[in-house]
Chain A
């Protein structure tokens, strides 16, 4: 069955869209990741223009983040204060990101920018995860060193605008969470990903947050940043397709239900190996597109 997307002004097979939504939701159910890093590349493979894919992903991210944050909130694992400060940075990052996106699109470099960013992000994260999980599977318990968070280092402690975050038991300059937020906002608005797999390590190793609070707080601030990006994409570019978003959301909910049920039966470490392999697979697929000579050197951009 074909479905006509009113904003993208193109007709796509509804089954593939729904299946993509289910697959992304499934991953988020099993591994607790957003799955945006898979959705955007696959929307691009399907022939959806990058602007529509990214704009719509910003919309869909809101839904998945809300579903995720409610659970963490119920268990009291969200630091609203710190999340709020990060949102300030996110708004700055998203605004800058939309500007960069438009410039890249104008000069015809958006595809390669998305491609290179994904290869770098997914490659790094995938390999790190693979090493960590393979070690865990082989039962070589890694000695967890007590790494000092960046925020407690001499230079960062001397930054101005210090704030006390009661919930996270942190006393640090507001510039640090704002800086991490800028990174998150930029990723949402340019790459269409919430970037949990970048934000979570950043919040642990840069801010030094207790890891229990990290996922909930990360999801919490992503809601605002993606909502802000969604408005910007809608107003500045007109590239948010609600029909596309809705199909993906519905698929995602179904997939997440299946994933959560399956997650109870599988062990953590092998599952992380699988996720790492999936991430590396997507990375290789995008890398091939960058380095292998394309069948057609020419492309057409219709304004």
Chain B
């Protein structure tokens, strides 16, 4: 115990001197609980930063494989013809920056490194045998569909500066938000280069009754099926017995 404390103290001692290039980030809640009545929520985080620098905060959901399909005419009907599969796509993304668009555009390397903005998420298809042009069109469609679902932002948020060096960021999670481990990353930016960074994780998951149903269905799918059948049998029988049809 004493050793741990000592180590901690030493670490702190090393961490403190470079105060100028420090940012701290903390989530108001480390997890988002999805209950039966869940109707979306906000993720609030606070942080401190060096006042002479800029900050970028991104929130990213668990990565999923996404397939974008395009319908085409086939025998008079509209059916899916072409498709492109994108791997490791964040299922949720939002960001907040203190800089405006013009300032950000001046640092393309920073945008790419920090994956700032939906156009810099690095979405590439697994097999690249499609034309560059087609990939671009499909990628844009992926982004706009995610924006329509409320999973990707239309534009950047700006952090609220509560007092010099102390900021607050609020991200909105819509009702159908993907579940899993989210990552919040804060970057301290000076003249287009990252001088400090900190990341936190956020757990988004179902709790209580919902979580039990989900894990039961996931881990014991056969018995879950049996349970579903029993529930249906009983309710069907009850409907007949207690509410006679004649």
Q: B79 contacts which chain A residues (CB < 8 A)?
A: 109, 112
| A242 part of interface (Cβ distance < 8 Å) | yes
Q: Would A300 and B217 count as touching, CB distance under 8 A?
A: no
Given A108-B80, A234-B222, A303-B67, is A70 in contact with B237 using a C-beta cutoff of 8 Å? yes
How far apart sit A272 and B233, CA to CA, in the bound complex (Å)? Answer: 29
Q: A171 contacts which chain B residues (CB < 8 A)?
A: none
| A59 part of interface (Cβ distance < 8 Å) | yes
Given A7-B214, A66-B237, A238-B217, is A300 in contact with B142 using a C-beta cutoff of 8 Å? yes
Q: B89: nearest residue on chain A (CB-CB)?
A: A302
In the complex, what's the smallest C-beta–C-beta distance from B40 to chain A, in angstroms? 8
Given A11-B39, A63-B232, is A301 in contact with B225 using a C-beta cutoff of 8 Å? no
Q: List 21 A-B contacts (CB under 8 A).
A: A4-B206, A9-B178, A61-B232, A63-B233, A65-B236, A66-B236, A67-B236, A70-B236, A70-B241, A230-B225, A234-B225, A240-B228, A242-B227, A250-B235, A260-B245, A297-B71, A299-B145, A300-B145, A301-B69, A302-B64, A302-B178
Given A6-B213, A67-B240, A235-B221, is A59 in contact with B77 using a C-beta cutoff of 8 Å? no
| A160 part of interface (Cβ distance < 8 Å) | no
Interface string of A258-299 (1 = CB under 8 A from B): 001000000000000000000000000000001111101111
How far apart sit A253 and B244, CA to CA, in the bound complex (Å)? Answer: 11
Q: B145: nearest residue on chain A (CB-CB)?
A: A300
Q: B218: nearest residue on chain A (CB-CB)?
A: A238
Contact of B240 among A70, A116, A294, A296 (CB under 8 A): A70
Q: A11: nearest residue on chain B (CB-CB)?
A: B175
Q: B34 contacts which chain A residues (CB < 8 A)?
A: 4
| B166 part of interface (Cβ distance < 8 Å) | no
Q: B236 contacts which chain A residues (CB < 8 A)?
A: 62-67, 70, 249
- Chain B positions within 8 Å of A, measured between CB atoms, are 34-40, 64-73, 76-80, 83, 91, 138, 141-142, 145-146, 175-176, 178-179, 206, 210-211, 213-214, 217-218, 221-222, 224-229, 231-233, 235-237, 239-241, 243, 245-246
In the complex, what's the smallest C-beta–C-beta distance from B198 to chain A, in angstroms? 29
Q: Would B229 and A62 count as touching, CB distance under 8 A?
A: yes
Q: Would A291 and B77 count as touching, CB distance under 8 A?
A: yes
Q: B66: nearest residue on chain A (CB-CB)?
A: A302
| A121 part of interface (Cβ distance < 8 Å) | no
| A147 part of interface (Cβ distance < 8 Å) | no
In the complex, what's the smallest C-beta–C-beta distance from B226 to chain A, in angstroms? 7
How far apart sit A192 and B6, CA to CA, in the bound complex (Å)? Answer: 64
How far apart sit A103 and B222, CA to CA, in the bound complex (Å)? Answer: 22
Given A303-B64, A303-B65, A303-B66, is A290 in contact with B77 using a C-beta cutoff of 8 Å? yes
| A201 part of interface (Cβ distance < 8 Å) | no
How far apart sit A59 and B221, CA to CA, in the bound complex (Å)? Answer: 14
A-B pair number, CB within 8 angstroms: 184
Q: Determine which residue in A63, A227, A240, A256 has the highest number of CB atoms from chain B within 10 A of its CB, and name it.
A: A63
Q: A62: nearest residue on chain B (CB-CB)?
A: B232
Q: A62 contacts which chain B residues (CB < 8 A)?
A: 229, 232-233, 236
Q: Determine which residue in A11, A29, A61 has the highest number of CB atoms from chain B within 10 A of its CB, and name it.
A: A11
Q: B71 contacts which chain A residues (CB < 8 A)?
A: 294, 297-299
Q: Would A293 and B78 count as touching, CB distance under 8 A?
A: yes
In the complex, what's the smallest C-beta–C-beta distance from A226 to chain B, in angstroms? 8
Q: Would A242 and B213 count as touching, CB distance under 8 A?
A: yes
| A139 part of interface (Cβ distance < 8 Å) | no
How far apart sit A70 and B232, CA to CA, in the bound complex (Å)? Answer: 14
In the complex, what's the smallest C-beta–C-beta distance from B66 to chain A, in angstroms? 5
Interface string of A108-151 (1 = CB under 8 A from B): 11011000100000000000000000000000000000000000
In the complex, what's the smallest C-beta–C-beta distance from B74 to chain A, in angstroms? 9
| A257 part of interface (Cβ distance < 8 Å) | yes
How far apart sit A235 and B221, CA to CA, in the bound complex (Å)? Answer: 5
Q: Would A9 and B179 count as touching, CB distance under 8 A?
A: yes
| A243 part of interface (Cβ distance < 8 Å) | yes
Q: Would A230 and B80 count as touching, CB distance under 8 A?
A: no
In the complex, what's the smallest C-beta–C-beta distance from A104 to chain B, in angstroms? 11
Given A4-B206, A11-B38, A238-B217, is A256 in contact with B222 using a C-beta cutoff of 8 Å? no
| A198 part of interface (Cβ distance < 8 Å) | no
